[in-house]
Amino acid sequence: MYKEIAKLIVYGSLPEDEILVRLGGIFRDFEEGTKDPAALTSEIYAQVKRILQVGTDYGFDKSLWQDYLTFLLITNENPFTITSENKKAPADASVNSFVKNDFAVFMNLFHFDFGPIEKALSINCFSVLTDYTAIGKPELMYNKNVSEKVRSLSDKLAAAEDVDTFFDLVTGFYDSYGVGMFGLNKAFRINVSSLSAPDAWPGSAGSSLGGSFGGDDTGRDKIRFCPINNMDSVSLEDLVGYEIQKKKLIDNTEAFVNGRPANNVLLFGDSGTGKSTSVKAIVNRYYDRGLRMIEIYKHQFKDLSGVIAAIKNRNYRFIIYMDDLSFEDNETEYKFLKAVIEGGVETKPENILIYATSNRRHLINETWKDRADVTMSEGIHKSDTMEEKLSLVHRFGLTIGYTKPNQKEYFHIVEELAARAGITMPKEELFAEANKWELMYGGISGRTAQQFVNHLLQG
Residue at 30 is within a domain: yes
Distance CA 448, CA 452 (A): 6
Which residue did the predictor score with more confidence, 162 or 2? 162
- In the sheet where 291-295 sits, what is the strand order? 222-227, 187-193, 291-295, 317-322, 352-358, 265-269, 398-402
Which residue did the predictor score with more confidence, 337 or 11? 11
Q: Is the pLDDT of residue 201 over 90?
A: no
Q: Compute the average pLDDT of residues 95-100.
A: 94
pLDDT one-digit tens code per residue, 145-159 = 788 899 999 999 999
Torsion of CA 74, 80, 82, 85, to 10 degrees: -70
Q: Compute the average pLDDT of residues 439-456.
A: 88
Residue 381: count of CB within 10 angstroms of its CB: 13
Of 106-115, 143-152, 279-288, the range with the lowest mean pLDDT is: 143-152
Last residue of some domain: 387, 402, 417?
402
Upper half-sphere CA count for residue 75 (Cβ side, 13 Å): 27
Q: Is the pLDDT of residue 105 over 90?
A: yes
Last residue of some domain: 359, 377, 402?
402
294 and 150 in a single domain? The answer is no
Q: Compute the average pLDDT of residues 11-30.
A: 94
Look at residue 216 in the predicted model and tell me its pLDDT. 38
283 and 176 in a single domain? The answer is no
Distance CA 262, CA 282 (A): 15
258 and 147 in a single domain? The answer is no
Pairing verdict, β 222-227 and 317-322: unpaired
Alpha helices in 111-228, H assignment, sequence order: 115-121, 125-130, 144-158, 163-177, 180-184
Of 30-39, 57-66, 207-216, 258-267, the range with the lowest mean pLDDT is: 207-216
Last residue of some domain: 159, 182, 205?
182
- For residue 373, what are the domain limits? 236-402
Residue at 387 is within a domain: yes
- Triad 27, 32, 35: Cα angle to 5°: 75
Of 32-46, 160-174, 206-220, 397-411, the range with the lowest mean pLDDT is: 206-220
Selection from 34-48, 87-101, 226-240, 358-372 with the highest mean pLDDT? 34-48
Look at residue 204 in the predicted model and tell me its pLDDT. 38
CA dihedral sign of residues 415, 418, 423, 425: negative
Distance CA 456, CA 370 (A): 47
Q: Is the pLDDT of residue 392 over 80?
A: no
168 and 243 in a single domain? The answer is no
φ, ψ dihedrals at 259, nearest 5°: 80, 15
Torsion of CA 287, 290, 296, 301, to 10 degrees: -160
φ, ψ dihedrals at 21, nearest 5°: -65, -45
Please state the domain count of the chain.
3
Relative orientation angle of helices 163-177 and 95-110, to the nearest 10 degrees = 110
Which residue did the predictor score with more confidence, 155 or 304? 155
Q: Is the pLDDT of residue 131 over 60?
A: yes
Look at residue 180 in the predicted model and tell me its pLDDT. 87
pLDDT one-digit tens code per residue, 324-381 = 887 766 666 667 777 777 655 556 789 999 999 988 766 655 554 544 444 444 444 4
81 and 107 in a single domain? The answer is yes
From the centroid of its chain, how far is CA 257? 17
Distance CA 278, CA 446 (A): 12
Distance CA 37, CA 123 (A): 11
142 and 243 in a single domain? The answer is no
143 and 35 in a single domain? The answer is yes
Alpha helices in 291-424, H assignment, sequence order: 304-311, 334-341, 368-371, 382-390, 407-420
Buried b (16+ CB within 10 A) or exposed e, 435-445: bebbeeeeebb
Look at residue 288 in the predicted model and tell me its pLDDT. 86
